[in-house]
Structure 1
């Protein structure tokens, strides 16, 4: 798989640790979307880039890191079709994929240590969506589509 990874300056150190871990302990390719230093970077832009790459199938899955893992999850989930889940333990990482077909997991560098984070990422990357909760995921996708369709119709009306 090709894994997109990114984060803000708060997540930079953990992102670098996870990037190295994935490259050295798996056969997955890593695409780094930044931050590329500990200089201040706003997390939404990085999260949007990873979400877009996942959506456009330029990468298969994503890992995002900020201080809490929450900001990057909120930002990534704004991208249509994306399901990003904040995970800080191996069970939630596995379930993010198995129950929700989450294409992205997020972690908080101020919440989880590097060794535990490696185990979380490993757990996430070692499971494949089996479709067992397809009915539930379809409900999420359908609701998102309804919302997006309505917003498109509303925008078209207001531009006339």
Structure 2
């Protein structure tokens, strides 16, 4: 399984921790994140390539990290086949997979302050299966294109 990971400057430490954990677990990683310390960058520059790999089916899942997780999730969700979920606790990770079939997890680096917790959240996200059923109907409605413009 290939996991794409992208982060801005706020997620560098977590990116390395997650990446090392996943490699130890046997996952293949495509690191598309920022890697330097002490320099600020714009999260879309690193989130777009990550979302593109998942959207094209070239990566099974994506992990994206920015300060609040919101900008990263908003960027990733511009892609038709992406369902990026903002996740800051284990229970949200479970529901994001079980009910929403999220294929990208967006992590808020400034709000998850424990390295062990962020690793556990990622582990749960990757190991939880989509329930399907009534949730499948809802998932299909997410990307429905409306004929009228929304102002």
Instruction: Using structure 1 for the length normalisation, give the TM-score.
Output: 0.85
Q: Per-residue deviation at 1:97?
A: 1.1
Following the alignment from structure 1 to structure 2, what is the Cα–Cα distance between the partners of residues 44 and 67? 12
Following the alignment from structure 2 to structure 1, what is the Cα–Cα distance between the partners of residues 60 and 20? 18
The equivalent residue for 1:127 is 128
Unaligned runs of 5+ in 1: 152-160
The equivalent residue for 1:108 is 108
Match of 1:106, SS state, is strand
Q: Per-residue deviation at 1:102?
A: 0.7
Count of paired positions: 146
Is 1:29 the counterpart of 2:28 in the alignment? yes
RMSD: 1.5
Q: Which runs of 4+ in 1 moved over 4 A?
A: none
Instruction: Using structure 2 for the length normalisation, give the TM-score.
Output: 0.90
| Larger relative helix fraction | 1
Structure 1 or 2, whichever has the larger Rg, is 1
Unaligned runs of 5+ in 2: none
The equivalent residue for 1:85 is 85
